[in-house]
């Protein structure tokens, strides 16, 4: 019955992980996998998470299902973190999901139910799973260039032109902050233009907020989302705690629908729960319980905020260190000061990426995206020197 299946190409990132692990060179550098690494090259468990987990061991008295909506206290805590104060006349409904990926899938399917003839607009380059997921729900996809890799600059005019050519009910998948893979985010004035353009055509934003706190700070990184919230009658939000709580393997996220329409807020939870029931049935509890407890106890919240701030400072310090080298041929390192988050996109060709790996033990994905948190201060000069051999 399964004999007709054909082999699928290996996932490039998973293949890169295996290549890195098999490389015996002691000074190899992993810039591929998108996880935070500290100054020792480790991805540690945050102390606030450890403290919350100890409390859970003592307090948790059941492992029974929570239901498809998950941990309601977690959902509300993340909503407060992301939205701040909801604009007058609006409210939200939300549901816990297995990571931000689960939230994206849930919201795409919800939108597709309501807009079967609409389009999902996606700026490129983007996180590769975005396009895969859009296609997997059967939605029509329309792309535009968000970032010019050759020029190493964002293309805001392309985004605004795309919105103005969209139809009412179309969906725009937008990175809330710390754009993956480019690190190029709109400033507040551009976010206002985006919001106004979306309002004028009646298009809906689906905001993927996966790195809140790892750009310029928790509130600063929510600026774009909150501007959209102030201007638009409704929006969708996919939230991830993988990066800012370091809960990667626990798969912690949430999906939200924000609207002025009472009827939508009444019917959306049933649709969300029905879709979730058919995908994962019930979400995993542990990570969400940890995050909820951290946000509920002031001492744990303060500890978590301090740790997150240190993570952000480390990323910013690597950006600043690389920016000091200025521009080397086509590689404009100086621009890194003006971008945010863990990722940057270099104009390296796939052949150059292979050359960096073979000759220098520097592992990065074929697109030229690098995880800045994979660099140590001591590695920066060697990395830039290796880039110089490509010029």
- For residues 104 and 110, the answer to whether their CB atoms sit within 8 Å is no
Can 55 be counted among the known catalytic residues?
Answer: no
Q: Look at residues 251, 247, 224 and name the one whose alpha carbon lies nearest to residue 237.
A: 224
Spot the catalytic one: 52, 77, 139, 210: 210
Q: How many CB atoms lie within 10 A of CB 173?
A: 25
Can 127 be counted among the known catalytic residues?
Answer: yes
Nearest 5°: phi and psi at 121? -95, 130
Q: Look at residues 159, 231, 253, 174 and name the one whose alpha carbon lies nearest to residue 206.
A: 174
Can 280 be counted among the known catalytic residues?
Answer: no
Longest Cα separation, the chain: 61
Burial per residue of 56-73, b for 16 or more beta-carbon CB atoms within 10 angstroms, e otherwise: eeeeeeeeeebbbbbbee
Q: How many CB atoms lie within 10 A of CB 117?
A: 10
Q: Look at residues 250, 287, 281, 286 and name the one whose alpha carbon lies nearest to residue 67.
A: 281
Q: Look at residues 236, 288, 341 and name the one whose alpha carbon lies nearest to residue 96.
A: 288
Q: How many CB atoms lie within 10 A of CB 84?
A: 15
Q: How many CB atoms lie within 10 A of CB 113?
A: 12
CA dihedral of 221, 163, 339, 327, whole degrees rounded to 10: 180
Determine the Cα–Cα distance for residues 219 and 327; give it in Å rounded to an integer.
32
Spot the catalytic one: 30, 185, 208, 285: 208
- For residues 239 and 103, the answer to whether their CB atoms sit within 8 Å is yes
Spot the catalytic one: 30, 79, 103, 127: 127
CA dihedral of 127, 177, 252, 82, whole degrees rounded to 10: -150
- For residues 198 and 88, the answer to whether their CB atoms sit within 8 Å is no
Length of the chain: 391
Per DSSP, 46 falls in state P
Determine the Cα–Cα distance for residues 354 and 363; give it in Å rounded to an integer.
8
Instruction: Return the active site residues.
Output: 127, 208, 210, 243
């Amino acid at each position: 019955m399964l004999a007709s299946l054909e082999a699928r190409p290996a996932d490039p990132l998973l293949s890169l992980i295996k290549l890195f692990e098999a490389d015996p060179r002691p000074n190899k550098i992993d810039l591929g996998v998108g996880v935070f690494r500290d100054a020792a090259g480790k991805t540690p468990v945050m102390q606030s998470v450890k403290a919350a987990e100890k409390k859970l061991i003592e307090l948790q008295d059941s492992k029974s299902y929570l239901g498809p909506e998950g941990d309601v206290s977690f959902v509300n805590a993340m909503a407060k973190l992301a939205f701040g104060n909801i604009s007058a006349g609006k409210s939200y409904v939300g549901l816990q999901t297995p990571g931000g990926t689960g939230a994206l899938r849930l919201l795409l399917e919800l939108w597709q139910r309501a807009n079967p003839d609409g389009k999902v607009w996606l700026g490129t380059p983007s996180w590769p799973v975005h396009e895969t997921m859009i296609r997997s729900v059967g939605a029509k996809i329309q792309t535009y260039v968000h970032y010019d890799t050759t020029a190493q600059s964002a293309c805001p005019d392309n985004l605004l032109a795309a919105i103005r050519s969209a139809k009412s009910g179309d969906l725009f998948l937008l990175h809330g902050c710390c754009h993956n893979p480019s690190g190029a985010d709109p400033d507040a004035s551009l976010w206002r233009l985006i919001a106004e353009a979306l309002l004028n055509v009646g298009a809906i934003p689906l905001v993927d907020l996966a790195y809140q706190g790892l750009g310029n700070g928790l509130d600063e990184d929510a600026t774009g989302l909150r501007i959209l919230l102030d201007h638009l009658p409704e929006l969708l939000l996919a939230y991830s705690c993988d990066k800012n709580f370091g809960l990667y393997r626990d798969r912690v996220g949430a999906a939200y629908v924000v609207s002025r329409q009472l009827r939508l807020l009444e019917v959306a939870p049933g649709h969300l729960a029905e879709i979730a029931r058919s995908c994962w049935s019930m979400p995993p509890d542990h990570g969400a319980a940890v995050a909820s407890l951290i946000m509920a106890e002031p001492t744990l919240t303060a500890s978590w905020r301090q740790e997150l701030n240190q993570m952000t400072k480390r990323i910013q310090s690597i950006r600043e260190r690389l920016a000091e080298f200025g521009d080397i041929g086509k590689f404009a390192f100086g621009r890194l000061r003006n971008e945010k988050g863990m990722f940057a996109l270099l104009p390296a060709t796939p052949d150059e990426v292979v050359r960096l790996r073979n000759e220098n033990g520097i592992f990065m994905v074929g697109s030229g995206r690098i995880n800045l948190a994979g660099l140590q201060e001591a590695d920066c000069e060697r990395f830039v020197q290796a880039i110089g051999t490509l010029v």
